[in-house]
Chain A
């Protein structure tokens, strides 16, 4: 007698090429890199020299006059935001069952992440310690307005 095996309720559909492998790899590589980037950043800003008291507009402007720190902060910004957004995407994919809601949340996530990256990058390259028309007590001493 022939045995018929019942077909399962939802057959697996063979999906096209996907980026999951690269996403996974990115998380593994950016993670350790971020640990180094962030802790060096924290120590050099908050601990060495005058420490936390040295931080003001002038300090930030001084750092970003140096392409090395610009590159450092840029790497930190991009890696952290992509790492974080991709992590959130993972959680959404794990726990949101409805395809439409999942899609909506993921699009929102990347839109917000992309916007933050854009704004951050803009600030790193166009930071002005003496914005015109700002209240004088907020500005560093070397600004012409004060």
Chain B
């Protein structure tokens, strides 16, 4: 009975076109296609697993949690940045090949793996930690309203989908990028934090918030549904006001 139910899940053939690059062999990345049989419940990550485990073990990509929590498997799927573990294959157009590339704007190291260091550096540069001078002998209380002020930006999982969907970041790797600004927002508008001024000064940089052209690519890319462009606009306003 149970076996029957499982068998009922529709299966179909899909072609994956994966942008592959082996730095020891290739001078240029190249598209390689794989035909796999998948089920209606499968995600792009399952298809990548199938290729890696059954067809070509050299396929290289990052993933850890496989459930949209860790943020390690952001990639460009059919031209859009998404998490492979949150993208159901049946939601894509499977009459066409599914194109899978590494996220853009960061150096490709191998296949779908990019060097995330510049991304993390921008994150580190905004001081992504609570800055408070009081002596923490008891918890720091906060009203629900104060907590709600920055709720949206606490959801970030640092997947880099936003930053690597930003056309300004593609051409200017020095731009802090949406993710760093989102995480600065998370602390700038936190009533317990005292470092807002420091972060405001850091982001009032040539490569800071003023680089943003409100393209909205980041908001569309974010797998956590964070209103990234809005957060950036709020940081811009905080800089104009000179305080959160």
Mark A residues whose CB is within 8 Å of B: 6, 8-12, 15, 18, 20-21, 23-25, 90, 93-95, 97
B12 at the interface (CB under 8 A from A): no
Structural contact, A20 and B206, CB atoms closer than 8 A: yes
Select one of A6, A21, A93, A95 contacting B204, CB under 8 A. A21
Task: Tell me the minimal C-beta distance from B163 to chain A in angstroms.
Answer: 14
CA distance A36 to B239 in the complex (A): 28
CA distance A90 to B175 in the complex (A): 13
CA distance A15 to B173 in the complex (A): 15
- Chain B count of residues within 8 A CB distance of the other chain: 24
B55 at the interface (CB under 8 A from A): no
Structural contact, B210 and A95, CB atoms closer than 8 A: no
Structural contact, A21 and B240, CB atoms closer than 8 A: yes
Main secondary structure on B side of the interface with A = helix
With both beta carbons as reference points, the residue of chain B lying nearest to A25 in the complex is identified as B240
With both beta carbons as reference points, the residue of chain A lying nearest to B239 in the complex is identified as A21
Nearest 7 A-B pairs (CB), nearest first? A20-B210, A8-B117, A8-B121, A24-B210, A18-B206, A95-B171, A15-B206
| Between-chain CB contacts (< 8 Å), 13 pairs | A8-B117, A10-B174, A12-B174, A15-B205, A15-B207, A20-B204, A20-B208, A20-B210, A25-B240, A90-B213, A93-B172, A94-B171, A97-B172
Select one of A6, A12, A94 contacting B125, CB under 8 A. A12
Select one of A12, A25, A97 contacting B207, CB under 8 A. A12
CA distance A15 to B122 in the complex (A): 14
Number of A-B contacts (CB under 8 A): 47
Q: What chain B residues lie within 8 Å of A24 (beta carbons)?
A: 210, 236
B156 at the interface (CB under 8 A from A): no
CA distance A18 to B240 in the complex (A): 14
CA distance A93 to B206 in the complex (A): 10
With both beta carbons as reference points, the residue of chain A lying nearest to B176 in the complex is identified as A12
- Would A8 and B118 be within 8 Å (CB), given that A21-B239, A23-B210, A94-B168 are in contact? yes
Structural contact, B117 and A9, CB atoms closer than 8 A: yes
Task: Tell me the minimal C-beta distance from A35 to chain B in angstroms.
Answer: 18
Structural contact, A97 and B171, CB atoms closer than 8 A: yes
CA distance A6 to B207 in the complex (A): 23
- Would A21 and B168 be within 8 Å (CB), given that A9-B118, A10-B118, A11-B121 are in contact? no
Structural contact, A6 and B240, CB atoms closer than 8 A: no
CA distance A12 to B205 in the complex (A): 11
Task: Tell me the minimal C-beta distance from A103 to chain B in angstroms.
Answer: 14
Q: What chain A residues lie within 8 Å of B174 (beta carbons)?
A: 10, 12
CA distance A11 to B204 in the complex (A): 18
With both beta carbons as reference points, the residue of chain B lying nearest to A18 in the complex is identified as B206
Task: Tell me the minimal C-beta distance from A7 to chain B in angstroms.
Answer: 8
CA distance A93 to B212 in the complex (A): 12
CA distance A11 to B122 in the complex (A): 9
Task: Tell me the minimal C-beta distance from A107 to chain B in angstroms.
Answer: 17
Q: What chain A residues lie within 8 Å of B240 (beta carbons)?
A: 21, 25
